[in-house]
Every structure is written in C-alpha cells, then in structure tokens.
Amino acid sequence: MGIIEVFFISIGVAMDAFAVSICKGLSMKKTSIKKSLIIASYFGIFQAGMALIGFILGKSFENFVTQIDHWIAFILLAFIGINMIKESLSKDEEGKNDDISFKTMIILAIATSIDSLAVGITFAFLEVKIIIAITIIGITTFLISYLGTIIGNKFGSRYEKKAETFGGIILILMGLKILIEHLFEL
C-alpha cells in the first residue's frame, strides 16, 4: 500500500474527529488558536496511536490469517465506512459543549479513534510502513480537526454529516480497492 492510499485512509478515519471538532467549534462562543490546537492534538495523537496499537495486534496474528488478509481489510474498512454513513444519516445529535478538559477530550479522542484501531489491524496484513502511515494519520487528523473547530465556530453544523458520509465512502472504496487488487493480483 502506497502513501497515497494511506493518505486517503487517513482522511477517512479523520472524519469522525472532524465532525466532533465541528461540534466543539460550534459550541464555543469564540474559538481560540490554543483551544483548537488542544482539540486537534488529542485527535491526531489518538488516531496515530490507535493505528499503531491495531498494527501491533494485527502483526501478532499475522501468521494465522495471511491467506484471508485482503478479506479482513475489506470487511473492516467496509464495516467502519458503513457505520460512519449510518451515523451521518441518523437524526441523533451529539452533545455539544465548550469543555476541553482532559477527561472530556480523552473520551472523545478514544471514541473517534476506534476506527483507526481497525485500520491499523488491516495495515498489519498489507505492505505498509507503519511509522510513515501513523505519521500521515496523525498529521492529517490534526490538520482536519484544527480546521473542524474553526469551521464549526464560523459556519455551524451544516458540514458535520457530510464529512462523516464522505469519510465512510472513502473507507469503503479503499476496502474495495484492496480486495480487488488481491483477488485479481493487480
């Protein structure tokens, strides 16, 4: 898997963090650079860290699943993508507040990075340079989350659902690409 594919996957997994960042920005009377950097740092660090943990877990079981790794990657990415699209179509509103305390941000960072854990597991079965991959995931999520707080503060919640849908579609398409490449040895 190349850098371009990793970049697109990183955009996909960052969409949950983007949506939550928009909510955080929306709930702030006036966003500050410091608050936006704090939010972005939590999300970026957790996305990268969870991908690394997933990679380590996946490598632990690599010998058992090398014959079906492309199916695992497809199923995980498609499942995550479908769930993201379903969430984007749901009428439920996530709680919105100005709190960026450690406790609040840890919960949000873990919740938004579960997808990254699953992606890390798929990376273990593919030819991925994990240090480069987690760096791309962390930086991409950081930048997208930073922008999310600013967009949320300026424009409101009209982009939240679209971002989540877009992220889900990217993950499904990347899963399909992996499956097709392995099935047809492209």
Rounded Cα distance, 49 and 138, in Å: 8
Rounded Cα distance, 28 and 35, in Å: 10
What is the number of helices (H) and of strands (E) in the chain?
7, 0
Domain that holds residue 152: 3-91+99-184
Residue with structure tokens 């380590």? 56
pLDDT category at 95 given cuts 50, 70, 90 is very low
List C-alpha distances in Å: 30 to 3, 42, 60, 104. 36, 20, 46, 19
pLDDT in tens, 103-112: 888 888 888 8
The total number of structural domains in the chain stands at 1
Average confidence (pLDDT) over 7-25: 86
pLDDT in tens, 29-71: 777 899 999 999 999 999 999 999 999 998 887 667 666 767 8
